[in-house]
Amino acid sequence: MDVFGIEEIILAVILFIAIHYWRLNRNTPMTIWPIMGMLPSFIHNVSNFYDYINSLLQQNGGTIIFEGPWLTNMKMVFTSDCMNVQHITSTKFENYGKGKDFEEIFEVLGDGIFRSDFHMWKYNRTLLHSIFKQENFQVFLHKTIEKKIFSSLLVFLDHACKKGLQVDLQDIFQRLTFDNICSIVLGFDPICLSIDLPQIACEKAFTQAENTLFYRHVTPKFLWKLQKWLQIGEEKKFSKNVKIVDKMVYSKIKSKKDQMQGEQQFDLLSILLKQSIGDGKNPIDDENKFLRDTSINLLAAGRDTISSTLTWFFWLVSTHPFVEAKILEEIKENLPSRKDNWKYLGMEGLNKLIYLHATLCEVLRLYPPVPIEHKSSLKCDVLPSGHKIKSNTMIVYSLYSMGRVEKIWGKDCLEFKPERWISKKGGIIQVPSYKFIAFNAGPRTCLGKDISFFEMKMIISSILLNYQIQVVEDHPIIPSISVVLDMRYGLKINVKKRSI
């Protein structure tokens, strides 16, 4: 008679428990497994992560507590409750910082504005706010974006139109915005967007690094840290990509310092060098590192958020011809013509584009470029939803889900409807930032909000006036799973010259 060994008995017990828990939870979206907690359910649904989280939040009153495997300390609170968000971002702002987990995951950002807390964050914010308000910088910003639109974007689209090329519009916008933000921050154009669509190492490294950052979100800390220590897998690629980006940034810092006595320049790095050197009041120990960290933060913000929003904008508008027609009519009526029959993309005319502004808000509501944000509690607290928060608890608020909350936006919350943003008097309805959270809320509200709208309106106006964007039939439109809400398969389009 055979006798079962200890291995067979352990395996049988594990299988019995697994089948038992599967039967108990097979009709629920989130199975809580022994030892592994909720992690298997999250991993199983990682391909549609943001919609999965949204469904969980809707079924659980807007807030859920995630518990990972035993002994991993992988516990966090997810919420789409706007009162919780207001509490975290404004009412109890001092109690919720980025936290240790955020700092470790986003170490690449250094001590820049998106990763720092308290004194360093206040210094970063005050410094950048003063620069953004400078008239010389604003003029430089406008000229830089306009030049890139006419010298690269329209030239490429004209070439694609004449050759009948099928184009990935998401890739074009990522190249365009990377060129723009490098010019604005570092004072040089890497020329990612040109007719031959060259592979630029620093731009490619930026994109690949983002994938690793999301990987760190859904992987137990000990595992990705082990990969980092051993320099294998995703972490090996991440280190390589960061070195490429750092090499580019540090070389520009050096060249800017060498040019300090030359002609006056208004890119952000040049202004920072003049304002931060030797003022005796800043908390900076290593000036080169400070300049590097600030540059990396602004490059990430200025490239990804705008390219993502533009991509979703043109998909939504191309599939809603009535919206496109209204935007085009508004542009023609409000942007003054120049001698060469081009429209002048100035601030005064762009500010009159109310319906375009409303459409951008609607795009950002449904497809926020940063789909989740997370904070960490310093002390114990109780959220407005009644959930008790221990110190050092990670709280994730889902911007993607908040745009789909019926209590905030109504029963038509899943519809693309720019009109919801326009008042009876024809102005933009101001929605509180803790409800419309695309630009964050409270003291950390995005400094570049006005700049972002300005750049997007310039790009959109120049494209719509000259070209018709037609999405390739049956092209799959699926959100990517990354720290930035891009399209997983890009946005394949055909370009046609618009008849005037």
The domain locations on the chain are: 32-497
What is the CATH code for 32-497?
A: 1.10.630.10
Q: Are 392 and 99 in contact (CB under 8 A)?
A: yes
pLDDT above 50 (res 189): yes
Residue 482 has pLDDT above 50, yes or no: yes
Cβ–Cβ < 8 Å for 194, 291: no
**Is pLDDT larger for residue 183 or for residue 10?**
183
Instruction: At 282, list the tokens.
Output: 């800043």
- Percent share of the chain, pLDDT over 70: 86
CA 291 to chain centre: 22
Over residues 57-109, the pLDDT tens digits come to: 999 999 988 876 655 566 789 999 999 999 999 999 999 998 888 899 999 99
pLDDT for position 286: 85
Integer Cα distance of 56 and 68 in angstroms: 16
Q: What is the mean pLDDT of the chain?
A: 87
**Tens of pLDDT along 355-369?**
999 999 999 999 999
Residues recorded for the chain:
500
Question: 17: pLDDT confidence band, cut at 50, 70 and 90?
Answer: very low
Q: Mean of the pLDDT values across residues 104-119?
A: 91
Bridge-based pairing of strands 372-377 and 96-97 is antiparallel
Question: What is the model's pLDDT at position 257?
Answer: 87
Location of structure tokens 């979703």? 312
Distance of CA 125 to the CA centre of its chain: 19
β-bridge partners, 492:
168
Checking if the pLDDT of 1 tops 80, the result is no
Place of tokens 């080169």: 288
Q: What is the pLDDT of residue 100?
A: 86
> What is the value of pTM for the model shown?
0.89
Q: Give residue 21's pLDDT.
A: 46
pLDDT-derived band at 490, boundaries 50, 70, 90: very high
Query: pLDDT > 90: what percent of the chain?
Result: 69
Cα–Cα distance between 273 and 253 in angstroms, integer? 9
Report whether 390 contacts 380 (CB < 8 A).
yes
Average pLDDT score over residue span 138-155: 95
Residue 147 Cα distances to 10, 48, 152, 162, 488, angstroms: 68, 39, 8, 22, 30
Angle, helices 118-132 vs 287-318, to 10°: value is 70
Secondary structure of the chain as H, E, C letters = CCCCCHHHHHHHHHHHHHHHHHHHHCCCCCCCECCCECHHHHHHCHHHHHHHHHHHHHHCCCEEEEECCCCCCCEEEEECCHHHHHHHHHHCHHHEECHHHHHHHCHHHCCCCCCCCHHHHHHHHHHHHHHHCCHHHHHHHHHHHHHHHHHHHHHHHHHHHHHCCEEEHHHHHHHHHHHHHHHHHCCCCCCCCCCCCCCCHHHHHHHHHHHHHHHHHHCCHHHHHHHHHHCCHHHHHHHHHHHHHHHHHHHHHHHHHHCCCCCCCCCHHHHHHHHHCCCCCCCCCCHHHHHHHHHHHHHHHHHHHHHHHHHHHHHHHHCCHHHHHHHHHHHHHHCCECCCCCECCCHHHHCCCHHHHHHHHHHHHHCCCCCEEEEEECCCEECCCCCEECCCCEEEEEHHHHCCCHHHHCCCCCCCCHHHHECCCCCECCCCCCCCCCCCCHHHCCCCHHHHHHHHHHHHHHHHHHEEEEECCCCCCCECCCCCCCECCCCEEEEEECCC
Do 200 and 193 contact (CB within 8 A), yes or no? Answer: no
Indicate the angle between helix axes 449-466 and 354-366, nearest 10 degrees.
110
**Residue 10 scores a pLDDT above 50:** no
Contacts of 373 (CB under 8 A, 6+ apart): 396, 397, 399, 437, 440
Residues 6+ apart with CB under 8 A from 10: none
Token pair in block for residue 380:
């114990």
